[in-house]
Amino acid sequence: MSTRRSFLQQIAASAALSLVPLSSLASERKYEGPVLRVAIMGLGGYGTRVADAMKTCQKAKLVGAISGTPEKLTRWQEKYGIPAENCYNYQTFDQIKNNKNIDVVYITTPNALHHDQVIRVAAAGKHVICEKPMALNAKEGQEMVDACKKAGVKLLVGYRMHFEPQTLEVIRLRKEGAFGKILFFQGQCGFTIGDPTQWRLNRELAGGGSLMDIGIYAINGARYMVGEEPIWVTAQETKTDPVKFKEGVDETIQFQLGFPSGAVASALSTYKMNNLDRFFVNGEKGFAEMQPSTGYGPIKGRTHLGELKAPHVTHQTRQMEEMAGIILEGKEPVVAVNGEEGVKDLKIIDAIYKAVKTGKKVPLNLI
């Protein structure tokens, strides 16, 4: 009887197990590999977004904070459980070289500060993740790449879209030839910017205007959607509010890119219009359209084959998980996120500004 009862219990247990979703089982598996210990520099809106997203990371953990505002450091210690000994200000953060509990510093400060901060972090022997744009120009960017190589640390750029599932699906389809020969890319990136006193409208801190902040998505997107490096650029600037958008701070820029295969790209970057977050790539056999294409919320899109249906994961959570793999395990992402990738975008930005100023087609050499 006991044998029969045991047999029936095993049958019941097996049946119950078969009803449990595999996703539930996977979520209960505890990660036991190496964990990337992260300090965030710049505790503003985006730094907070990254910190919140890391709460659900398994491979990356927030352990430190760097800020010029003592009150922010106190709040972060309380909110995220950060030890006081892992908190620094902008004058003292070189001391992280003596802190064995921090592996990498994620820099989310204004653009103009990136260059010196990355070089200082590298000199302290820590890996660096730097928000885009990596620097104010390609010269600065290359100096950052060189400094990190000299120090033997990795330099990654916060290209969260390079890990986004819908984006990666379009790239996969393009690589497999689903669209045929790529002919055209269109990128529309923009919103109506608010507070005129914010750092994004300060040339000294931002290095420009909409192109540095939002237009870089279209620049980077053109490259990974077309699958080539552009060889020329033309560009035009429109400014309707010279009071809000002072000299050197672009309001709206349209630019065009040409590729070796003959494909062309047309893009719009603006701080003056809403409802602009769209990518479209067209080939001889098909197309892909994404809208929204780069926003923080779920990315939505379709191709000639149907709707894109990959599940949404918070971008910064997925980014930090993948970057932990790159830094700790040497993993190679589908689309590069290293400093060299950042320099290429900066070379294009330099060329766009030159094209605006001269009204001429500017050649590019990114190889």
31 as an active site residue: the answer is no
What is d(CA 159, CA 156) in angstroms, rounded to the nearest whole number? 9
Cα–Cα distances (Å) from 74 to 215, 321, 339, in that order, read 35, 26, 32
Q: What is the DSSP letter of 360?
A: S
Rounded to whole angstroms, the Cα distance separating 348 from 81 reads 41
CB 255 within 8 A of CB 177: no
Task: Out of 72, 132, 344, 347, pick the active-site residue.
Answer: 132
Give the number of C-alpha atoms closer than 13 A to the C-alpha of residue 256, restricted to the C-beta side.
10
Residue 27: which residues within 8 A CB-CB, separation 6 or more? none
Per-residue tokens: 81 = 């459980």
Paired tokens of 128 = 């660096």
Count of residues in the chain: 367
Report how far residue 314's alpha carbon sits from residue 300's, in angstroms, rounded to the nearest whole number: 14
Active site residue 132: yes
Strands 232-238 and 182-190: unpaired
Which member of 80, 88, 159, 217 is catalytic?
217
Distances (CA, A) of 229 to 220, 257, 355: 10, 9, 18
Largest CA distance in the chain: 93
Residue ranges of alpha helices (H) inside the chain are: 2-18, 22-28, 45-53, 70-80, 114-123, 138-151, 165-175, 203-206, 210, 216-226, 315-329, 339-358
Best CA proximity match to 161, nearest among 243, 218, 237, 242:
218
Q: What are phi and psi of 156, to 5 degrees?
A: -115, 155
Q: Give the integer Cα–Cα distance in Å for 308 and 329.
A: 30
Catalytic residues: 132, 217
